[in-house]
Structure 1
Amino acid sequence: MAASMREPTFWILTALASEARHGYGVIREAAALSGGRVTLQPGTLYAALDRLADEGLVEVDREEIVDGRTRRYYRLTQPGATALGAETERLRASADAAAAQLKRFGHGTAGRPAW
């Protein structure tokens, strides 16, 4: 069984799944997709992007100069998409197992008691 992905990594890859984004775009998209539960800090994000690039899960898409500063856009690679898909399936299986146990305990699917 593969090790689980850290939550920030999951949300970074998820944010890049639909299009290439620069750092602040990744931060905003991860927050939006997680319903505000995940707030990536710039230092954490850029260290993670460097690590993910070294692992071949993301790559630099392009760079542009905005207000005299370089803005680097990242995109998901095919191995990154494969890793994200595997983690998505792992999380789904875990949630399904928990839901089945709750149902056996007498809770409905929304986590509310059935009684």
Structure 2
Amino acid sequence: MAREQLKTLTEPMYYILLVLLEEQHGYGIMQKIAELTKGRVVIGAGTLYALLSRFEKEGIIEQVREEERKKIYKLTYKGKILLYEEEERLKKLLEDGMCYRKGLKNE
């Protein structure tokens, strides 16, 4: 599926896709991510637009319209699958870590 193109997502990739569950323009994406992560993750414009271009070429996001020279993007069905798969991968990673730590405490 979508996982074939991107084996794992970087933190900026994940947050961009997460924010694009709702329609958003580039600057809005940067603001939402900074707000969501309380400033822990800050994505520069160069990184953002390079990733938006890549995601659009791969069919993960699409431009839905343009308002006042701002391109508005949203996640495609393929993008939603990729986001879900990444969240499942991260959950398993955390579960493995918790199980391992629990085992160490019981020794």
RCO higher in structure (CA 8 A, sep ≥6): 2
Say which of 36, 40, 45 aligns to 1:37.
40
After the TM superposition, list the runs of 4 or more consecutive aligned residues in structure 1 that deviate by more than 3 angstroms: none
- Once the two structures are overlaid, the 10-residue window that deviates more, 4-13 or 82-91, is 4-13
Which runs of 5 or more residues in structure 1 are unaligned? 108-115
Alignment correspondent of 1:103? 102
Q: Deviations over 1:25-59 (max 9, x none)?
A: 11111222233221000111011000000000001
The TM-score, its normalising length taken from structure 2, stands at: 0.87
Equivalent position amino acid for 2:12 in 1 = P
Q: Deviations over 1:55-98 (max 9, x none)?
A: 00001011011xxxx11111000000000000000000001110
2-structure distance, mates of 1:35, 1:103: 30
Aligned runs of 1:1-115 on 2, under 5 Å? 3-17=7-21, 19-65=22-68, 70-106=69-105
Instruction: Report which of the two has the higher share of helix.
Output: 2
The TM-score, its normalising length taken from structure 1, stands at: 0.82
Structure with the greater alpha carbon radius of gyration? 1
Identity rate, percent: 37
For the residue of structure 2 that corresponds to 1:75, the secondary structure is strand
Contact 1:62/1:72 (CA < 8 Å) preserved in 2?
yes
Which runs of 5 or more residues in structure 2 are unaligned? none
